[in-house]
Amino acid sequence: MTDKVEPLVQLLWADDDSTDALEALADYLDDANFQLERAVDYQSAINKLEENGGIQSLLLDVILPKARGSGSLAYDLGITLADRAAERGVKSIVFLTVVRRSEVVDKYNELVSKYPDVEFSYFDKTRLLEKHVLENMFHCLRTTKSGVPEARND
Amino acid sequence: MINFLPWLIVAFILIILVLRFVQPELVYSFRQVLVKIGMRKVFLDRKERREDLSAMYNRLLVKDFRYETLGHDWNYALKRVNKMRELYSTLDLQRGDVAGIDDDERKPQVCIIELANLLSNLGDHVKPERDIHHPTVKADEILRLVGNSIKREGEALQKDNEVEAWFIENPMSIEQTIEIMIAAVFGLAYRQQAEARHAQPEVAGNLGFSFRKPAVLKPKDVS
């Protein structure tokens, strides 16, 4: 897909669709040189962040089940996950969701101002296959405030 | 020579119909697999830089969010609630155009119908329990709370006729209706979890959980 070889980035993708309807996106991410880990709920995403200190980027949905086989009373558990990930040193956080940004704008802006060193981006899932959107999303997943992907040393 | 093809087609349709009503989960699992295969094809085509595939992708996305509500166990219900929220967000008229979904197909009210089905399935399996008799927050109180939370400015709604007048003047959104129904789904799902725990046989050393009325401590016990 890309002509030049991009540096390998360790990516956690937290979305219940990541092993379901959107599983095909995983191949795309593989091809774009992301070392991918997937979590289908909030709890397993937190576990993966704790187990793997090297995760550099997080791709996530705003709507996430709390644990395997459950829903979540909070409709925006993804925002909480982003907060936890930023706290743990993830430098690039990209939302991919059908939730309109205006619905979570206060909490999103709060995250952005709370973590000035973290690069946050927001993508609409219904526009994912429009021209250049996937490529822009991959670019954001690779972008940090310092400009290059950084290895974490937790 | 007898042509078996029409008979095979009829038999296939019959099998599908029987499955639809006897084992509907199988049919819908099959449908989920088809959505997954469709998505894979869309992404492969995208990789080959074919034409804009957003329309097909979005149709598959909505198909994935929306399949008939079948289950009644609590973890199915809670998972389904998330899909309903995603379906609503996709079909919400506040959102701009969605490629592949025409305006006449954008019916976010289907979420109300699906949640009603989910509540119906959960309701079928509720066991009446004599010991569950907490005070109830009545519908008028719930509406008053919703109205006052939305209203924020001016005097708070107090009397029932004020609540009625306010909701007629400011119709409840589909999303608000959905959230009230989701609250009911969560309530019933938690109740089902409590029933399931209660039904587990007690074993020695098990710190048993009971959803029955909690023991009331008498003053002498507190000390």
pLDDT digits (tens, 9 = 90+) for B133-179: 788 999 999 999 999 999 878 899 999 999 999 999 999 999 999 99
Give the residues of chain B that fall short of pLDDT 70: 1-2, 20-27, 50, 67-71, 200-223
Buried b (16+ CB within 10 A) or exposed e, A114-124: ebeebbbbbbb
- Residue to mutate among B61, B84, B111, B179, with most A CBs inside 10 A, is B61
Whether the CB of B193 is below 8 Å from some CB of chain A: the reply is no
Whether the CB of B29 is below 8 Å from some CB of chain A: the reply is no
Tell me whether residue B129 is exposed, middle or buried, using C-beta atoms within 10 angstroms of its C-beta: 0 to 12, 13 to 18, 19 or more: middle
Buried b (16+ CB within 10 A) or exposed e, B7-39: eeeeeeeeeeeeeeeeeeeebbeeeeeebbebb
Classified as helix, coil or strand, B201 is coil
Q: What's chain A's average pLDDT? A: 88
Q: What contacts A111, CB < 8 A, 6 or more positions away?
A: A79, A82, A83, A86, A93, A118, A120
Q: Which residue of B has its CA nearest to A20?
A: B36
Q: In percent, how much of chain B has pLDDT > 90?
A: 33
Determine whether the interchain pair B95/A72 forms a contact, defined as Cβ–Cβ distance below 8 Å: no
Q: What's chain B's average pLDDT? A: 81
Whether the CB of B80 is below 8 Å from some CB of chain A: the reply is yes
Q: Note whether ipTM > 0.95 here.
A: no
pLDDT surpassing 80 at residue A3: no
Q: What is the pLDDT of residues A46-65, one digit of tens each?
A: 999 999 889 999 999 999 99
Tell me which chain A residues have a C-beta less than 8 angstroms from the C-beta of B40.
Answer: 23-24
Determine whether the interchain pair A23/B47 forms a contact, defined as Cβ–Cβ distance below 8 Å: no
- Least CB–CB distance from B64: residue in A21, A63, A99: A21
CA triplet B169, B173, B179: central angle to 5 degrees?
130
Q: What is the DSSP letter of A147?
A: S
Q: Which residue of B has its CA nearest to A70?
A: B75
CB atoms within 10 A of CB A40: 20
pLDDT surpassing 90 at residue A78: yes
Chain A to chain B Cβ contacts (< 8 Å): 88
* pLDDT attached to residue A69: 61
Q: Which residue of B has its CA nearest to A61?
A: B86
Q: Which residue has the tokens 């089902």?
A: B192
- Least CB–CB distance from B86: residue in A1, A24, A98: A98
Name the pLDDT band for A4 (thresholds 50, 70, 90). Answer: low
Among A34, A47, A59, residue whose Cα is nearest residue A149: A34
Among B209, B214, B212, B193, residue whose Cα is nearest residue B78: B193
How close A154 comes to chain B (CA, Å)?
33
Tell me which chain A residues have a C-beta less than 8 angstroms from the C-beta of B196.
Answer: none
* pLDDT attached to residue B216: 40
Identify residues of A whose CB sits under 8 angstroms from chain B CBs. 1, 16-17, 20-25, 27-28, 31, 63-65, 69-73, 75, 97-100, 103, 125-131, 134
Q: What is the DSSP string of B45-63?
A: HHHTT-S--HHHHHHHHHH
